[in-house]
Structure 1
């Protein structure tokens, strides 16, 4: 059967599953250098991406739409062939603990490719769970798992899923801070201050910056206490609480002359401790029915929180998918219907299931020549110049994992600053290491397998001077490990580079325009002019 999942709102995407295999998941932002978080502009986009793989909308057995804002149901406004269209979809989440989290909502009037289709819709919180559980190793053997969904507009919602009986048990919220509190709080402090803009203002790009910036701060015990006191005095189940809480803490911080970096570092630590202690209490209350755990939603892009949960010993295994945020919602919607129709929870997938790179003509002033992987390794070793690497299909989710990356030698201390300047990023932002999997434990702690860049690792002391460009201010690194099975081309590149340099590590950061998705083609990467070299499919493009 063919299930086509649709995420119509921000992080718009289309995913196609055939017989439990993910054929593709195409995010709007990964076409035409579209802006990050773009919605599906027109349902014609759905037909276009189906056609890229030889399908039409008429081939699809069931269209499935991700739920959105609302408690009983929701309306999503979209377009079809330029005409305005409003579709009824599932709500954002359940209204009570006893509500059926796997409930399917039916709709009609989905206009694609000149035809109109009925469709199914599932709650946004549920599509999150399905996207990660079905991609997890637990689904292969149909093992139960706990699942924590912590996304921007919701409290951290804890579930227990047992595929043996198909039941998704809602265990309630862990605590009452919505996911967006991390960025909303930080917008009250320098350098993210957005004074006077009200409680509902948010910036989706801030959370990742804050996670890096807190390395400049120190955790203050008095602030940890103040967070508890302020919560007890002012909590209300409303968006305004985020504003009130942040304003009260800001007042305390300024009155006591506490550096703003300390305030954010302390709040990060406060929420991290709250996550771990609340998880322990909830698992204990539930009688610990499994030691498997899935963490889902935008908040699970926080590598420090992921690591804290993994290191807590509460679970034997912690799984976070590379499309854990809303970029996985179309996949999750299709997975919900896959489970409903077939009873099979396992999704056969690859992280490299995005659009194929377009190897078109470069911009004026660029020349091309043949360049093998071994020659690319030599170039990285001898020139110390960053290279945009475009290869095969794009990565799912927000992180470049070698196929849409800027790679560079990590041996020069100034390479991090050079890459941040190239990408117009703040100087405190880290650059990630990409490392051959078998060498990672000797270079990083713990250095365990981490193919999707989702956990925190410390750079070991003996490597600090050898690869300084990938070390963050606090000594950590957002590591990506690579095996030959994960990505043969990137593994061979690292292997060839190690043979030349003795170092199995390179710098890795995403190849994209500021505020846009990954480069879709050679033309846009060379028009950007951010680097001297662009490499695509064994062709090297050099700016003259």
Structure 2
């Protein structure tokens, strides 16, 4: 059975599952140097992605469209013709409706009309997280925490036999974290609603500050008074029925906070707000779990939704003692919604069974015309390690692109971490703020000696502390608070970046490199060598055993 999942709107993507295996997932931002979070608004993209894999729309048994809260604002087309389409809601309409589909007709592909299903957006997050998890493979059940931009954090219990909603943890939509940036810090001149990347930037910025109990108490008091209370003025907010209503209540909350905290530094206020939310998350989850002591299976947790990109919250949940194991997929936000849509149909027909998948299932590298001032020479991994050891960054393009928002060695800029100025240099060439961190990619078996905890974390979704004796050895990957967003990779991995790390370790005794995404500012990953060369802000590009170098003018 071939199932094609489709995510329209921002983070547009197309995924194909065949016989329980993920064949590909193509996010629009990873095509043609498109903008980050690029939407799908023309169904020709679906036809073209299928054709690249030798398929016609008629070869697909089932199309599944991700649910959404909006009903307008996206002008859909098939070729030049406008298309009207309906889909499921954002959240299931009743507790037993997590797998209740909306059945539609009129998905126009290559001039033909196809029927389709649609499941709630939250269902896709839950299905993608659980079906890709080690718990599904092991036949274990798990809790699933889904916290997305316009919903309260929702807790489910899921296993092969089905899923049940337990309850929401507290009345704060996920957008509250980004909305704080509209009131405090360096991003008040822009709207968090229009900048899907501001939450991640804010997570980096708070390392400049320190949480203090006085500020946390202010946030707690105003939350209890204005958002957690059951009085009439909070009723509409609690109903989650209006995005505008929720945002208005949140901005009112921050206006009141700003008045009481006007003497505080913005970075300290934001650090305190982060700490307030983290405590609220752990406290309320603890309370709810105490009410469900007899649920079968291990205490496993899957986390999904945009808030699952917050590595500090993920780590706090992992060390809380509430769970035996915690799983976050590499595409917890809407970049994984097409996979989630397809997994929802798979779960509806067969239960929440495990998906056979690889994180390197994105688009293959394309061919392009490299500018004539660039020349290619053969370059082994040993040779490339020598280039990196001389403190020269390299754009590293290998195999198919990674799924999700993190560069994991397939579309990366790699550099030695031994120079204190390398982080600033990489931020400068990528036009990023100075306080943004650069992540390490490290051989898995060496990670515990460099980081705490240093556990295997292949997708950069948890927070680690750099051990004191290593901070001066690899300063470029140490964030302002001493932390690092670690990616580990086994030295036995077949991916070429693992071979490079092994060669670099042999040469320098250091088993890690700086790893940041290979892309233009505000764009998706480079789709080909030609794009990286035209960008030209890194003078070396490696791909397929060739090192491309820009010739110095005579």
Q: TM-score range by the shorter chain?
A: over 0.9
Alignment counterpart, residue 176 of structure 2, candidates 177, 181, 188: 181
- Structure 1 position 201, deviation (Å): 4.0
1:233-244 maps to which residues of 2 (within 5 A)? 233-235=225-227, 236=234, 237=237, 238-239=245-246, 240-244=248-252
Determine the structure 2 residue equivalent to 1:124: 121
Q: Deviations over 1:506-543 (max 9, x none)?
A: 00000001101000011110000110100111111001
Mapped to 1, the partners of 2:294 and 2:277 lie a distance apart of: 23
Mapped to 2, the partners of 1:222 and 1:159 lie a distance apart of: 34
Q: How many residues align?
A: 533
Alignment counterpart, residue 273 of structure 1, candidates 264, 276, 279: 279
Mapped to 1, the partners of 2:269 and 2:53 lie a distance apart of: 50
Partner-residue secondary structure (3-state), 1:88: coil
RMSD between superposed Cα atoms in Å: 1.5
Deviation beyond 3 Å, 4+ runs, structure 1: 73-77, 484-487
Mapped to 1, the partners of 2:141 and 2:528 lie a distance apart of: 42
Determine the structure 1 residue equivalent to 2:230: none
User: In the alignment, does 2:504 pair up with 1:512?
Assistant: no
**Is the Cα contact below 8 Å between 1:183 and 1:202 reproduced in 2?**
no
- Structure 1 position 232, deviation (Å): 2.6
- Structure 1 position 142, deviation (Å): 2.5
Mapped to 2, the partners of 1:251 and 1:367 lie a distance apart of: 59
Partner-residue secondary structure (3-state), 1:37: coil
Normalised by the length of structure 2, the TM-score is 0.94
**Is the Cα contact below 8 Å between 2:92 and 2:123 reproduced in 1?**
no
Partner-residue secondary structure (3-state), 1:117: strand
Mapped to 2, the partners of 1:518 and 1:156 lie a distance apart of: 30
1:292-331 maps to which residues of 2 (within 5 A)? 292-331=300-339
**Is the Cα contact below 8 Å between 2:419 and 2:476 reproduced in 1?**
yes
Mapped to 2, the partners of 1:486 and 1:318 lie a distance apart of: 23
User: In the alignment, does 2:149 pair up with 1:141?
Assistant: no
1:326-475 maps to which residues of 2 (within 5 A)? 326-343=334-351, 345-381=353-389, 383-475=390-482
- Structure 1 position 141, deviation (Å): 2.8
Determine the structure 2 residue equivalent to 1:205: 197
Mapped to 2, the partners of 1:522 and 1:359 lie a distance apart of: 8
Q: Deviations over 1:135-186 (max 9, x none)?
A: 00111133111000011111101101122x32x1111110011001001012
Mapped to 1, the partners of 2:476 and 2:444 lie a distance apart of: 19
**Is the Cα contact below 8 Å between 1:74 and 1:90 reproduced in 2?**
no
Determine the structure 2 residue equivalent to 1:92: 90
1:208-223 maps to which residues of 2 (within 5 A)? 208-223=200-215
**Is the Cα contact below 8 Å between 1:74 and 1:91 reproduced in 2?**
no
**Is the Cα contact below 8 Å between 1:455 and 1:479 reproduced in 2?**
yes
1:471-490 maps to which residues of 2 (within 5 A)? 471-484=478-491, 486-490=493-497
**Is the Cα contact below 8 Å between 1:131 and 1:328 reproduced in 2?**
yes
- Structure 1 position 453, deviation (Å): 0.5
**Is the Cα contact below 8 Å between 2:66 and 2:120 reproduced in 1?**
yes
User: In the alignment, does 2:153 pair up with 1:156?
Assistant: yes
**Is the Cα contact below 8 Å between 1:359 and 1:536 reproduced in 2?**
no
Mapped to 2, the partners of 1:360 and 1:124 lie a distance apart of: 36
**Is the Cα contact below 8 Å between 2:504 and 2:510 reproduced in 1?**
yes
Task: Using the TM superposition, name which of 468-477 and 237-246 deviates more.
Answer: 237-246
Partner-residue secondary structure (3-state), 1:310: helix
- CA distance 1:231–1:202, change in 2 (3 Å): farther
Alignment counterpart, residue 269 of structure 2, candidates 257, 263, 273: 263
- Structure 1 position 365, deviation (Å): 1.4
Partner-residue secondary structure (3-state), 2:290: helix
**Is the Cα contact below 8 Å between 2:11 and 2:27 reproduced in 1?**
yes
**Is the Cα contact below 8 Å between 1:155 and 1:174 reproduced in 2?**
yes
**Is the Cα contact below 8 Å between 2:491 and 2:502 reproduced in 1?**
no
Determine the structure 1 residue equivalent to 2:532: 525
- Structure 1 position 280, deviation (Å): 1.1
**Is the Cα contact below 8 Å between 1:68 and 1:76 reproduced in 2?**
no
**Is the Cα contact below 8 Å between 1:231 and 1:245 reproduced in 2?**
yes
Partner-residue secondary structure (3-state), 1:406: strand
- CA distance 1:101–1:74, change in 2 (3 Å): farther
Mapped to 2, the partners of 1:358 and 1:32 lie a distance apart of: 9
- Structure 1 position 227, deviation (Å): 1.0
- CA distance 1:389–1:145, change in 2 (3 Å): same
User: In the alignment, does 2:9 pair up with 1:9?
Assistant: yes
Determine the structure 2 residue equivalent to 1:107: 104
- Structure 1 position 343, deviation (Å): 3.4
- Structure 1 position 99, deviation (Å): 4.1
